[in-house]
Amino acid sequence: MSDAPTRVDLHVKVLDDRIVERAEAAGVDVLVYAPHFVRLPEIRTRAERFSTDEVTVVPAREVFTGDWRNRRHLLAIGLDDPVPDFITYEAALAEFERQEAAVVVPHPEFLNVSLTRAEVSAYRDRIHAIETYNAKLFERQNARGRRIAEAFDIPGYGSSYAHLRGSIGAAWTEFESDVTDEAALTAALRNREERTVVRRTDPATTARRLVEFAHLGFENSYGKLDRLFLSGMEPTHPRHIAYGGRFDDVAVY
């Protein structure tokens, strides 16, 4: 690899050939792919399918801990075994630690889906990075993330948090080292290696933020409610047969 930094978009929800092409055009080297309600084996298969010589897709899981009203999102990178949604926060952290995954906090203090400042403080030694720039959110929301990261001396990261293709390339995190595979990225996060958060601020990117934010309102309300309660048991439900009963004692549903 060249001496240039590795550009990593640390959280995307969508993946296809056009997204990889957009990432390559933006100079992004790595996409961390973590769709909602999809089990790790399927995520891994899709990541391998769409990785190219220019863009590596790293599989990850954004796990919904807690119940629907009080869920806390944790993004885990470097998992070997599947971890379901809707288990207790402590159980999720214990499983991540067992697998030596990197644990990062997306969109802190955003609505009722994120870790609060107090929760970050309580678990600071078990968290490897805090999102300090999310291209989907507005400045006052991202400023909260920066303040939390600074208060507890936890490294930051940036992502497009893309749920729509147009957001790819809006933000990324630059590592000085070669982190173009899952193991290297996991190690860099766990070791708190130096990085720089980069974001685009051109008018087109700003306009796309409004579209993404509107989409987020649906995603985190009626969209997920329908999937969870109306369409039957999701593949990442802790009592799904795929988990073999391993998480029954820590399931909240």
Which has more pLDDT, 10 or 234? Answer: 10
Tell me the pLDDT band of 4, cut-offs 50, 70 and 90.
confident
pLDDT band, residue 1 (cuts 50/70/90)? very low
Dist. CA 241–CA 253, nearest whole Å? 14
With CA atoms as reference, report the closest residue to 22 among 121, 131, 160, 229: 160
Burial class (CB in 10 A: 0-12, 13-18, 19+), 28: buried
Query: What mean pLDDT is reported for the chain?
Result: 91
Cα torsion angle, 221, 226, 229, 234, sign: negative
What percentage of residues in the chain have a pLDDT greater than 90?
81
Q: Is the pLDDT of residue 187 over 60?
A: yes
93-105 pLDDT per residue, tens: 999 999 999 999 9
C-alpha–C-alpha distance, residues 182 and 180, integer Å: 7
Residue 179 in contact with residue 6, Cβ under 8 Å? yes
pTM reported for the whole predicted model: 0.91
Q: Are 5 and 175 in contact (CB under 8 A)?
A: yes
Q: What token pair was written down for 134?
A: 């999310």
CATH class in words for 6-250:
alpha beta
What confidence score (pLDDT) does residue 139 get? Answer: 92
**Bridge partners (DSSP) listed for residue 196:** 174
Summarize pLDDT for 14-24 with one digit per residue, the tens: 999 999 999 99
Residue percentage of the chain with pLDDT more than 70: 91
Q: Where are the domains of the chain?
A: 6-250
What's the pLDDT at 230?
Answer: 45
- pLDDT for 220: 54
pLDDT confidence band for 205 (50 / 70 / 90): confident
Give the 3-state secondary structure of residue 217: helix
